[in-house]
Amino acid sequence: IWFMHESAHFSRVARDHLNRNYGQRWIGREGSNYKKYSSVEADCTKALELNSKYTKALLRRARALEQTGDLEAALKDSFIVCIHEDVSNKTSFLKLHEIYVKLVEQQVQENLANRKFLLPSKYTIKIFIEYFPKDPVFSRLQHPTNFPQFFKKPLEALKNAEYDDIIPLCTEIIKSDEFDKLSSSKLEVLLLRATFYILLGDYVSAIRDFESILNSEDATDDVKICALIKRARVYVKLEMLEIAFEDFELAISINARYGDIYYQRGQTYLLMEKLDDAKRDFERAVECNSNFGMAYLLTCYVDFKLAEENLDLRLTRVVVKKFERAFKRFLNPPESIYCYTLYADVQLCLNFKKADACLAKAIVKYPEYAVILETRGLLQLQWHDNIDKAMEYFNKAIELDYKCETAYKELGKLEIRRENFEKAIKLLDKALIFCCTYKELLQIYILRNSAKVQLDVKNELGSIPPILRSISDFIKIQNVEKPDWLKRTSSAVQLEVKTNYFISKQLV
């Protein structure tokens, strides 16, 4: 479209100026007469200086920006087009959606490829340890006077919750000249290091250590089983469910009475919302180990979800009674805290006041645990949308533990609602530091882009049209449902995991 023919968009003075300076150009056309996208962008910008609502120029500049890789700027232009058109043009909206998806995927990939690995909070690690009561390394903590001399430093660090020291201490032992000469318990050093690689989010290194254990003839059955179920956990995180379930079956074939296997598989079924299968596995875990507190609490929780699904009031009352008895049974953290948070989740559907009272009691009893404050903050929003109270609890949680990803994310969401976009972006940037799975990163980048585009539009248009929020909400829903696990990891992880997958297939 020639500038001189755009009489509907420009005054006579503007058309005369454009015809003199750009008479032989197609504005923003990427055809044979105009290949340089940076020049397209410059021409469109000139046109928009004369008429900021010229949607064709905005669209063409968005395409040029997309081609040069400036997806954030392209997204802003696409949003403004949709605002001017009142989302009436399907082509414009589809282009907006395409750029939005492309930007989020690019951001997640860059984050995964360049991120610095960080361990989660101490509470998260303590809960993780409770998931594996039969773990041969964790079991050694019950007899601290009997630590093997070569393994003493990493085990002391584990006992004292000096978690940042564990991987370096294990690596020092593994790289020593004496390592190959040690007894078969040396493989527990690899198991401990692999465990903390999982917590770190370094799945490639974890898988390598698990492979070393499983390929060793010296590995005991307990060490092999633990390696298999923890490797399965990695595959679940990568959504490679087929091979994860193969690892669970291999572990069962070694020892069908090993309760940790059923607990981990039950958690996988719970993630898949297969409640009956999850219930069966959690109950089996308790049968194998009657002292497995986490498994028992999840049998209660799954019973509640089933009662809720089937509108079974009798079962609901039974579950509530079970939780109330569990408080007397599990007196120490982290099981006791897990009991409080799960019970509060149950009461959310029954009695908000009781849920809040439960968490208030937990905070008094365990003031050092940030997770309870996070949970109570979420309750304030679900109960009566009390933003101020929720923000108070989230900020207190961060004061206790600076690694509270959920608190940063929720505060970011609340600042978006308050239109404090710059503050929201800073909070979401902090949340990005502490999450390492594709799904978590995806959710936070979607929120961050929503805040960023609203800030940019507000700066450009002077206000935020209500329709902008509707567009953002629709795109959030569309984007979260995107499935392909291969797009959820860095290229290094993809290569390593795919290679191990095909090798395991050949061995079978």
3-state helix, strand, coil in the chain (%, to 5): 75, 0, 25
* Torsions phi, psi for 223 (to 5 deg): -65, -40
Q: Name the H helices within 115-162.
A: 122-130, 136-139, 152-159
219/281 Cα distance (integer angstroms): 26
Q: Which amino acid is at 3?
A: F
Residue 49: pLDDT band with limits 50, 70, 90:
confident
pLDDT of residue 476: 54
pLDDT, average across residues 307-327: 93
| Cα–Cα distance measured from residue 281 to residue 269, given in angstroms and rounded to the nearest whole number | 9
Domain boundaries, the chain: 3-114, 120-291
Least confident of 150-159, 215-224, 278-287, 451-460: 451-460
Q: Provide the pLDDT for residue 440.
A: 86
Strand partners, 2: 26
Structure token pair of residue 369: 């645990």
Report the pLDDT value the prediction gives residue 74, as an integer from 0 to 100. 92
Task: Give the angle subtended at the CA of 428 by the CAs of 427 and 432, to the nearest 5°.
Answer: 120
Alpha helices in 335-465 (DSSP H): 335-348, 352-365, 370-384, 387-400, 405-417, 421-433, 438-461
Other C-beta atoms closer than 10 Å to the C-beta of 311 total 8
Q: Tell me, what DSSP letter sits at residue 182?
A: S
Amino acid in position 354: K
d(CA 415, CA 425): 9
Secondary element (H or E) of residue 308 = helix 293-310
DSSP letter, residue 26: B
- Per-residue pLDDT, 18: 56
CATH class for the region spanning 3-114: mainly alpha
- Contact between 457 and 421 under an 8 Å Cβ cutoff? The reply is no
- pLDDT tens-digit readout, 211-240: 999 999 999 999 999 999 999 999 998 889
Which distant-in-sequence residues (6+ apart) come within 8 Å of 235 by Cβ?
A: 241, 243, 244, 247, 497
pLDDT of res. 69? 86
pTM: 0.82
The arithmetic mean of pLDDT across residues 168-183, rounded, is 94
pLDDT number for residue 486: 38
Residue 279 pLDDT more than 90?
Answer: yes
> What are 472's two structure tokens?
């953002």
Helix (H, G, I), strand (E, B) or coil at 64: helix
Same fold, 3-114 and 120-291: yes
So what's the pLDDT on residue 234? 94
Q: What is the 8-class DSSP label of residue 272?
A: T
- Residue-level pLDDT at 131: 94
74 neighbors 456 (Cβ within 8 angstroms): no
Token readout for 125 is: 């690690």
Q: What is the mean pLDDT of residues 479-500?
A: 44
Q: Is the pLDDT of residue 491 over 80?
A: no
Query: How far apart (Å, rounded) are the C-alpha atoms in residues 64 and 311?
Result: 55
pLDDT higher for 365 or 51?
365
- Per DSSP, the chain holds a count of helices (H) and strands (E) of 26, 0
- 26 DSSP β-pair partners: 2
The answer to whether 210 touches 457, Cβ cutoff 8 Å, is: no
State phi, psi for 291 to the nearest 5 degrees.
-95, 10
CA 151/CA 148 separation, integer angstroms: 5
Residue 500 has pLDDT above 70, yes or no: no
Q: What is the DSSP string of 200-231?
A: HT-HHHHHHHHHHHHT-TT--HHHHHHHHHHH
Question: What are the tens digits of pLDDT across the range 394-452?
Answer: 999 999 999 999 999 999 999 999 999 999 999 999 999 988 778 889 889 999 998 99
Q: Is the peptide bond before 466 cis (omega within 30 degrees of 0)?
A: no
398-422 burial, b for 16+ CB within 10 Å, e for fewer? bebbebbbbbbbbbbbbbbeeebbe
Q: Provide the pLDDT for residue 86.
A: 80
**Distance (Å, rounded) from C-alpha 306 to C-alpha 275?**
7
- Interhelix angle 71-84/466-480, rounded to 10 degrees, is 130
Read off the amino acid at residue 302. V
β partners of residue 436:
none
CATH number of 120-291: 1.25.40.10
Tell me, what's the pLDDT at 353?
93
Give the tens place of pLDDT for each residue, 91-112.
888 888 889 889 998 999 888 8
pLDDT for position 437: 77
H or E element at residue 40: helix 37-50
Q: For 31, which DSSP code? A: S
Q: What is the pLDDT of residue 90?
A: 83
Residue 13's pLDDT band, with cuts at 50, 70 and 90, is: low
